[in-house]
Amino acid sequence: MSESVEPETWAASRYGRALNRLIESGAPVLVGGAYAMRVYVGISRWTKDLDLFSPRNEVARVLAVLEEDGWEVELTDPVWLAKARLDGLLIDILFNSGNGLHPVDESWFQRAPQAVLFGAPVRLVPVEEMILVKAYVQTRDRYDGADIHHLILKHGQHMDWNRLLDLLGMHWEVLLAHLVNFRFVYPSEQEAVPAWLWRDLLRRAQEQIECPPVADRVCRGTLFSRSEYEIDVREWGYRDARADFLLA
């Protein structure tokens, strides 16, 4: 895939320079977020944020390159996020999903398509990993379900559904929930989701229904939002599912 994404803004030159510096340094980064969505689905959303994805062991190098280019850098959250700021612009460097479940690794780069962004030859986060990261974004003030629906609409017939299933692993129910919503949103576009995937996920759901409820009083809502499900953990006696992964 090769497509030019050149919004006419004063930020273009600074982002382009930063991206070219990173490319010249050899630091591995993938572009995600709104700019990747513009290439994948054709929806343009102006944002002053540029989302870059990089493996955790490369973040120090990425930050060093940006700092040398004049950006103020910080490791914002040791679980998943670093930031770089310059004159009101922001680059987010993500090395994990926000809940800590899905670290960026070399496999993300193996299928990453090419594009041109701000004059720099970049690679995009693959569609499957885009859906993976967005699948857990379900808070009171942000829900990425529409982005997932648009990605499936435009790429569902050609994407690697087995890859996405493998990435989600034991959290396949999250995918099923998004697919049900997709079916509701686009009743005429059912071919975007293969029939074998529906049968597989519905079979799993049926097997769960017929099994006794789990004894562990765990709240997995914290994998979507820490704040929205804080009361479950603090007052209602549920165990925080995040702890299992962050302490592993």
Residue pLDDT, tens place only, 96-106: 999 999 999 99
Q: What is the pLDDT of residue 27?
A: 97
Q: What is the pLDDT of residue 82?
A: 98
Q: What is the pLDDT of residue 46?
A: 67
Q: What is the pLDDT of residue 6?
A: 46
3-state secondary structure of 7: coil
Residues pairing with 30 in the sheet: 53
Residue extents of the structural domains in the chain: 1-125, 129-211, 215-248
Amino acid at 94: L
Q: What is the pLDDT of residue 218?
A: 94
Structure tokens at 144: 């990425």
**Residue 107 pLDDT class (50, 70, 90 cuts):** very high
Q: What is the pLDDT of residue 32?
A: 97
| Alpha-carbon distance values, 137 to 1, 65, 171 (Å) | 27, 29, 14
Asked whether the predicted pLDDT for residue 246 surpasses 80, the reply is: no
Average pLDDT over residues 165-176: 97
**Residue 198 pLDDT class (50, 70, 90 cuts):** very high
Q: What whole-number distance in Å separates Cα of residue 171 and Cα of residue 156?
A: 19
DSSP 168-185: HGGGHHHHHHHHHHHHHH
pLDDT tens for each residue of 31-88: 999 999 999 999 987 677 999 999 999 999 999 999 999 999 999 999 999 999 999 8
**Residue 247 pLDDT class (50, 70, 90 cuts):** very low
Average pLDDT over residues 172-191: 98
Element (H, E) at 163: helix 161-168
Cα dihedral sign, 178-184-186-188: positive
Q: What whole-number distance in Å separates Cα of residue 238 and Cα of residue 248?
A: 19
Question: CB-side exposure of 12: number of CA atoms within 13 Å?
Answer: 13
Q: What is the DSSP letter of 143?
A: B
Averaged pLDDT of the chain: 93
Q: What is the pLDDT of residue 162?
A: 98
> 220 CB contacts (<8 Å, ≥6 apart)?
171, 241
Q: What whole-number distance in Å separates Cα of residue 66 and Cα of residue 83?
A: 10
Fold of 1-125: Beta Polymerase; domain 2 (3.30.460)
Structure tokens at 230: 């804080």
| Alpha-carbon distance values, 89 to 14, 72, 84, 187, 242 (Å) | 9, 10, 8, 40, 31
Q: How many CB atoms lie within 10 A of CB 65?
A: 21
Percent of the chain having pLDDT more than 70?
93
3-state secondary structure of 82: strand
Asked whether the predicted pLDDT for residue 8 surpasses 70, the reply is: no
Q: What is the pLDDT of residue 214?
A: 79
**Residue 245 pLDDT class (50, 70, 90 cuts):** low
Asked whether the predicted pLDDT for residue 91 surpasses 50, the reply is: yes
Average pLDDT over residues 177-202: 98
CB 137 within 8 A of CB 144: yes
pLDDT tens for each residue of 118-146: 999 999 999 999 999 999 999 999 999 99
